[in-house]
Amino acid sequence: MNVLIIDPDDARAALVAEGIRADSAHQDATIHHWPRFELARLKDINPEMVIIACESPDRDTLDALQIAHEQAPRPVAMFVDRSDANTTAEALEAGVAAYIVDGYSPNRVASILTVATHRFNLMQNLRNDLTKAKADLAARKSIDRAKGVLMTSRGISEDDAYKILRKHAMDTGRPMAAVAADILAISGLLKPGEG
Amino acid sequence: MVLSLKIGFSPLNDSALVLLGEALGYYTAEGLDVTLSREANWSNIRDKMSYGLLDAAHVLAPMPLARGLGLGPTLGKIIAPMALGANGNSVVVSSHLMTALIHDDKTKLLDTARALRDEISRRRAAGAPKVVLAMPFAYSPHHFVLRHWVAAGGIDPDRQVQWVVLPPSRMADALRDGVIDGFCSGSPWPQMAQLNGDGQVLFSDPDFWTLKPEKVLGVREPWANENPDGVISLVRALLKAAQWAKAADTADLAKILAQPGYVGAPLEAIELALSTEGAGLLLDPQTTTFPWISHAKWFMGQFVRWGLTTPEHDFDTIARQIYRPDLWRQAAASLGLDIPLEDEKTEGGEPVPWTLDATPNPILMPANELFDGGIFRSA
């Protein structure tokens, strides 16, 4: 059987493909990945199932095929009385929709869609972790630089500079990184010969 | 008590009222805690409404009707308690096709359709491929406008034109690469294509129909039934947004729309679309937000005309189940707007501003005329 994944996010598509292959029930699946939908190439693949990221603008092009062609993949949402409505809803919430050709096994659809949902959620969590790690790193850098500014301008130790920053943060109820950013902004203004 | 709800929108100028509701605090003022969800395609909006992931959305007017006619995924009904303005789309064609269709500034829209018929004949004689026209969604006003336009020129839209559904974000590229010959899209995509030199605007909605229905507020019926007061508050918030938009400076409106989380397109294109040279988007609460049953029937007539459904439906009942002027009246009356006495009006045949029966005062309506002089009486 043929599964087509349409996702502009290559890493996420790879994660979904790997998830489908890892399931013994779908070991025979041939999985294709297109970053965008290409109508002219659909015949070459003849997928039984299409998985598409909701963020892909191409979804409406794929969706319209059901009107023009009898044998075209149709949205899983059309078959909800036959498959599991929760599966579809969870998939949409995770940002993925599925299309199948008529007569395709509902059990396999549900299990592949569940895998795709989990992988989409996993990718989102990984991205969130990465964003947080980057923000943490940026915060630590500005705190270090703000300490440097305080040490130079006030002639104090690193430890004292840190205490001043922390006290400011606690007094104003703001994150230390925000206080540090303020200090850096002000120190920029005060630099001689600038502004 | 605060009522939380999620509203979906497609990043287009005609989502303005939904965006202004948040940007200017009209939702909050009505006791609504709204989370907006910017969606990349119409299918998402349709499906998310089906599964309750969205309670309401900015939708193409034919979408709730398609559902009412049993077309496509049909889980749960969507009602339309108000329209989100009128007009806002443009048709863009390649420079080559523009030259073939427009002779001088006296060329009328009907002439362009006839010129297209000649172009199609020329191409067929030369063994060249068919003319390809793109639209953003099958159940869309864009689709019906393009078909009505070409048919007016004596072209058989089913056999002589190739139709393709493309996301607006890919239309300009497809036009530049010669994959398509023209497209119809909501603003500001046509204006972006024009500014980038990818194509030229052949006509905009008002050239086709001076008061053309386009987007409606779609509300998930189960949500509306559970929150009868919430629906009225929502319509009130959007009517207030329209009151602001009607009086506002175009530059102020454009600045709000251009924000990244909203339409998020270049300010220049958004402003061009809203200008008098633009796509004719009207956001007047009094004349362009009433959910006319005659609009619903015109659209369903198009479904039948183009073979998307059969004539065996009780169109009057379906129209009245989906379009809900009763809810509009309730919300609008509480804001002191004038209330139309009828649910249906004659569409077309009003070349100049005209008076509509309403209470407490009659409403001065803009011209309501189709380019081919067609008149649609639904009642």
Mean pLDDT of B15-42: 98
Q: pLDDT tier at B104 (50, 70, 90 boundaries)?
A: confident
* Nearest residue in B to A87, CA atom: B51
Has residue A38 got a pLDDT over 50?
yes
pLDDT of residue A194: 45
CA distance B120 to B178: 16
Has residue B162 got a pLDDT over 60?
yes
DSSP H or E segment with residue B182: strand B182-186
Task: Tell me the shortest Cα–Cα distance from B40 to chain A, in angstroms.
Answer: 5
Residue whose entry in the numeric block shows the structure tokens 């004659």: B346
Task: Tell me the shortest Cα–Cα distance from B62 to chain A, in angstroms.
Answer: 14
Has residue A29 got a pLDDT over 50?
yes
Mean pLDDT of A60-70: 85
CATH class of A2-128: alpha beta
- Structure tokens given for B152: 């007016």
Architecture category of domain A134-190 in CATH? Orthogonal Bundle (1.10)
Is the pTM here over 0.80, yes or no? yes
Has residue B224 got a pLDDT over 90?
yes
DSSP string, A111-171: HHHHHHHHHHHHHHHHHHHHHHHHHHHHHHHHHHHHHHHHHHHHT--HHHHHHHHHHHHHH
Q: Which of A57, A75, A89 sits opposite B73 (nearest CB)?
A: A75
- Structure tokens given for B379: 């009642």
CA distance B34 to A183: 36
Contacts of B48 (CB under 8 A, 6+ apart): A92, B8, B37, B39, B54, B57
Mean pLDDT of A175-185: 90
pLDDT of residue B86: 98
- Structure tokens given for B350: 């009003």
CA distance B320 to B300: 12
Please name which of B160, B171, B75 lies closest in space to residue B119, comparing C-alpha atoms: B160
Task: Tell me the shortest Cα–Cα distance from B167 to chain A, in angstroms.
Answer: 6
Structural domains of chain B sorted by starting position, each given as residue range(s) with its CATH number in brackets: 3-87+212-341 (3.40.190.10), 89-208 (3.40.190.10)
Chain mean position to CA B67: 17
Mean pLDDT of A81-87: 69
Tell whether A102 lies on the interface with B, counting CB pairs under 8 A: no
pLDDT of residue A195: 39
In degrees to the nearest 10, what's the CA dihedral of A179, A182, A188, A189? Answer: -140
Helix, strand, coil % over all residues of chain B, rounded to 5? 45, 20, 35
Q: Do B138 and A64 touch (CB under 8 A)?
A: yes
For B177-196, the pLDDT digits (tens) are: 999 999 999 999 999 999 99
Share of chain B above pLDDT 90, in %: 95
Q: Do A78 and B137 touch (CB under 8 A)?
A: no
What's the alpha-carbon Rg for chain B, to the nearest Å?
20
Measured between beta carbons, the chain B residues lying within 8 angstroms of A88 are 47, 51
Contacts of A144 (CB under 8 A, 6+ apart): none
Q: B6 forms bridges with which residues in the sheet?
A: B35
For B110-121, the pLDDT digits (tens) are: 999 999 999 999
Has residue B154 got a pLDDT over 50?
yes
Going by the DSSP 8-state scheme, the letter that residue B127 receives in this structure is T
Has residue A103 got a pLDDT over 80?
no
pLDDT of residue A106: 73
Has residue B230 got a pLDDT over 90?
yes
CA distances from B315 to A121, B309, B311 (A): 43, 11, 9
Write down the mean pLDDT value for chain B.
96
Would you kindly state where each structural domain of chain A is located, as residue ranges? 2-128, 134-190
Per DSSP (E only), the strands in B187-346 are 200-204, 215-220, 339-340
Write down the mean pLDDT value for chain A.
88
Question: In b/e form, how buried is each residue of B137-147, taking b as 16+ CB within 10 angstroms?
Answer: bbbbbbbbbbb
Residue with the bigger pLDDT between A46 and B17: it is: B17
Question: Residue B360: is the preceding peptide bond cis (ω within 30°)?
Answer: yes
Provide residues of B within 8 Å CB-CB of chain A. Answer: 39-44, 46-48, 50-53, 71-75, 136-138, 164-170, 308
Mean pLDDT of B90-114: 93
Please name which of B166, B145, B169 lies closest in space to residue B269, comparing C-alpha atoms: B169
Q: Do B41 and A92 touch (CB under 8 A)?
A: no
- Structure tokens given for B32: 């609504």
> Could you check whether A2-128 and A134-190 share the same CATH topology?
no
Mean pLDDT of B231-244: 98
Has residue B304 got a pLDDT over 90?
yes
- Which residue of B12, B41, B46, B177 is the best one to mutate when testing the A interface, meaning the one whose CB has the most A CBs within 10 A? B41
> Does the complex come out with an ipTM higher than 0.85?
yes
Task: Tell me the shortest Cα–Cα distance from A23 to chain B, in angstroms.
Answer: 27
pLDDT of residue B74: 65
Mean pLDDT of A126-153: 93
Q: CB under 8 Å, gap of 24 or more: what pairs does A83-87 form?
A: A83/A109, A83/A110, A84/A110, A85/B51, A85/B75, A87/A113, A87/A114, A87/A117
Q: pLDDT tier at A94 (50, 70, 90 boundaries)?
A: very high
Q: Which of B48, B52, B137 sits opposite A60 (nearest CB)?
A: B137
